[in-house]
Every structure is written in structure tokens, then in C-alpha cells.
Amino acid sequence: MSVYKAEYIWIDGSVPTAKLRCKTKIVKMGEEAPEWGFDGSSTNQAEGHFSDRVLKPVFTCPDPIRGGADILVLCEVYNTDGTPHESNMRAKCAAVAEKYASHDMWFGIEQEYTLFDGIKPLGWPDNGFPAPQGGYYCGVGADEVYGRGIVEIHLEACLDAGLNISGINAEVMPAQWEFQVGPVGPLAVSDELWIARWLLYRIAEDFGVSATLDAKPVKGDWNGAGAHTNFSTAEMRESIDACMAAAHALEPRHELHIENYGADIDERLTGEHETCSYRDFKVGVSDRGASIRVPWQVARDGKGYIEDRRPNANIDPYVVTMLITEGVCAAAEAAK
């Protein structure tokens, strides 16, 4: 009997930041990966006395690690009565995406992350610190970047999985890196970002290295890690006025967004290290000290997209794309 391996991946109920969980199911060739279950009492998604939760496949792609006919299966978590589990943000995002589908929202998310060797960033000295920031961003050479071997394998794996990864770069703090996913719709960018994160953890695991999405992995004069969220509606892709209107539509919602843009956001959005303080809301052209940046080529072309620089690396992209879609599209409709 021939079979394939389906790696079921889901988002748990850990607070304040959810984690990925996974387990393998052997499926008969020719059959689809079915709904499955797990012990929710071990993932902060149930009490012990009634612990079964349901895994509902929502996005599948080739498994670039196992290869062959094997697949990755991203799932939503449901209760046994058929309702979405309260930790299931994808179901909530899907409802908002559906409501505003006519705006054709696109998202491109820049995922920053830091590679760790035990308790210190990869390649950092056992005692003390590397030279101060300045030469590491988009650097090359063994004295500038740490972990490129892992980063390259991860990029290749994302492409093999068919994800819309659009680039990678070394970041400002040594051992910190970034990959970008998109631009695609809110659910697609979020599904693919969670799968890309899973691939990163899984690949780094084989090197004894852990990747973290901590927003401020090293205290002090070191950059935090963000997930800049670039977005556009069909209208913004035609008009700079729509881009500016979208930026300003987010102003009255600033606090709501900050509360939902990842744990420890106050440690990252200090006003230093290419951020705007979480206490302020600022829109700027080319300004990396703004909350919302209008890229220079968008100002030049008179159309395009804008960048929300506030989200932390440790966001749930379903929550962030849902909030932006709601805020921007509702305001655009009200202005009509």
C-alpha cells in the first residue's frame, strides 16, 4: 500500500504569543488529508476533562523537507460542536476579508527574526557583545553575518513549497534576518507566513539553532524585530490620495492596533532604532521614524501602497491583516 506523510500544523493557545504545533499523519495515496484531532489540554486550548479539539485543513503545500508526495497541512482549530475555537483568529480574519473582498486588499509582510545559539544570538561572543550596529544590515562576510547557511536553505524551502516569498536580507543587529511574503490577499499572506515560520523553525532545528520572533531579543542599543506590514487596496494602487486616506484612516484606531500588534511592543516602539514611539502616530514619506511610511517611489509614481511599521515580529498576521482591512476599507466606504 502506498502512502504519503501529511504534516499537520496549527496555531496553539499560548499567551501572550501563540506558538506553532505539528504532528504527522500517514495518509493513503489518492486520499486527501482529512480532518483530525488533538489534545487541546496540552496546547492551552482545552481543559483536561474535555480535551478533544478538531484540526480542519485550510491550506496545503508540498513539504520541501520530506519531499516526494509529502505535504504540509495548515489547519484551523475547531471545537467538537463545529464552532471555531476562541484561539482561531483565521476564522475571524476570513469573515472580514470576505466582507471587504471588493477592495482587493494585498499585503506584503516583512518578517524579521533572530537566530539564537542557546541563550545568545548566533555567532555572538560568549562574553560581551559584537561591535556596535552599523555594518551588519545587508552585510556580507563571516565578520558581518551569522547563519546565512540556514537562511539560504529556508529561502529554497519556501520556494519549493510554492510560497510567495519575495526576498530576504540580513538585518541591522547581527544574527537578525528578514524574509518577505507577498503581496497577496490577507488570508493567503497570513497562511503562507505561518508556514514560512514553521519551515524556519524546522530547518534551524537541524542545526541546533532556534529562531525567535521576540520583539526585543537583546535589550539595550540593539534593534528590535518587526513585521512591517505593507498593504494596498485596488484604489490605492491607482491613486496617492487613496494611499494618504488609508494612512490617516488608521490614526483614530492607533491604540486598538498597538494593543494587537504583538507582545512587548512598548519595548520595541521606543522612538529609537528606526521606530516611532507607540505613544505617537505619525505618517511620513520615506520616513523610517514614522508609524506609517509612504515609500518614496509611491510618492513619485502617485500610486502604490503604504507600510505600517508598527507590527512586531511576533504578531499573529490574521489579526493584523484583519484590523488593517477593517480600518482602511470601512473608512473608504464611509467617504463614498
User: Could you list the residues that contact ligand ADP (CB under 6 A)?
Assistant: 106-108, 110, 166-167, 180, 182-183, 228, 230-232, 237, 304-305, 307
CB of 319 to ligand ADP, least distance (A): 18
Select 178 or 214, whichever has its Cβ closest to Mn ion: 178
Residue 63 interacts with, from Mn ion, ligand ADP, none (CB under 5-8 Å by kind): none
177 or 231, CB closer to ligand ADP?
231
Q: How far is the CB of 204 from Mn ion (least distance, A)?
A: 19
13 binds, among Mn ion, ligand ADP, none (CB under 5 to 8 A by kind): none
Rg, the chain, Cα only: 20
- Among Mn ion, ligand ADP, none, what does residue 237 contact (CB within 5–8 Å per kind)? ligand ADP
Instruction: Report which residue's Cβ sits closest to ligand ADP.
Output: 108
We find the least distance from the C-beta atom of residue 172 to Mn ion, in angstroms, to be: 8
Q: Cβ of residue 300: shortest distance to ligand ADP, in angstroms?
A: 14
CB of 171 to Mn ion, least distance (A): 6
Q: Which is nearer to ligand ADP, 166 or 260 (CB)?
A: 166
| Of 45 and 321, CB closest to ligand ADP | 321
How many residues would you count in the chain? 336
Q: Report, in Å, the least distance between residue 234 CB and ligand ADP.
A: 10
Contact 187, 90 (CB under 8 A): yes
Least gap, CB of 246 to Mn ion (angstroms): 17
The span from the CA of 147 to the CA of 176, in Å, is: 9
3-class DSSP string for the chain: CCEEEEEEEEECCCCCCCCEEEEEEEEECCCCCCCEEEEHHHCCCCECCECEEEEEEEEEEECCCCCCCCEEEEEEEECCCCCECCCCHHHHHHHHHHHCHHHCCEEEEEEEEEEEECCEECCCCCCCCCCCCCCCCCCCCCCCCCCHHHHHHHHHHHHHCCCCEEEEEECCCCCEEEEEEEEECHHHHHHHHHHHHHHHHHHHHCCCCEEECCCCCCCCCCCCCECCEEEECCCCCCCHHHHHHHHHHCHHHHHHHHHCCCCCHHHHCCCCCCCCCCCCCCEEECCCCCCEEECHHHHHHCCCCEEECCCECCCCHHHHHHHHHHHHHHHHHHCC
Query: Based on CB atoms, which residue is closest to Mn ion, 33 or 150?
Result: 150
Please say which residue, 57 or 174, places its beta carbon nearer to ligand ADP: 174
Q: How far is the CB of 223 from Mn ion (least distance, A)?
A: 9
The residue (of 84 and 304) whose beta carbon lies closer to ligand ADP is 304
Grid-cell match 494611499, residue found: 243
- Tell me whether residue 43 or residue 230 sits nearer to ligand ADP (CB atom): 230
User: Which of Mn ion, ligand ADP, none has residue 183 at its interface (CB below 5 to 8 Å by kind)?
Assistant: ligand ADP
Q: Do 113 and 176 touch, CB atoms closer than 8 A?
A: yes
Q: How far is the CB of 89 from ligand ADP (least distance, A)?
A: 21
Strand 283-285 versus strand 292-294 pairing type: parallel
Partner whose footprint covers residue 34, from Mn ion, ligand ADP, none (CB < 5 to 8 Å by kind) = none
Cis peptide before 121 (omega within 30 of 0): no
Rounded Cα distance between 97 and 90, Å, is 10
User: 76 vs 178, which CB is nearer to Mn ion?
Assistant: 178
With CB under 5 to 8 Å by kind, the binding choice for 326 among Mn ion, ligand ADP, none is: none
**Residues at the site binding Mn ion, with contacts judged by CB under 5 A:** 110, 178, 228
- Which one of Mn ion, ligand ADP, none interacts with residue 230, CB within 5 to 8 A by kind? ligand ADP
Q: Which residue is nearest to Mn ion (CB)?
A: 228
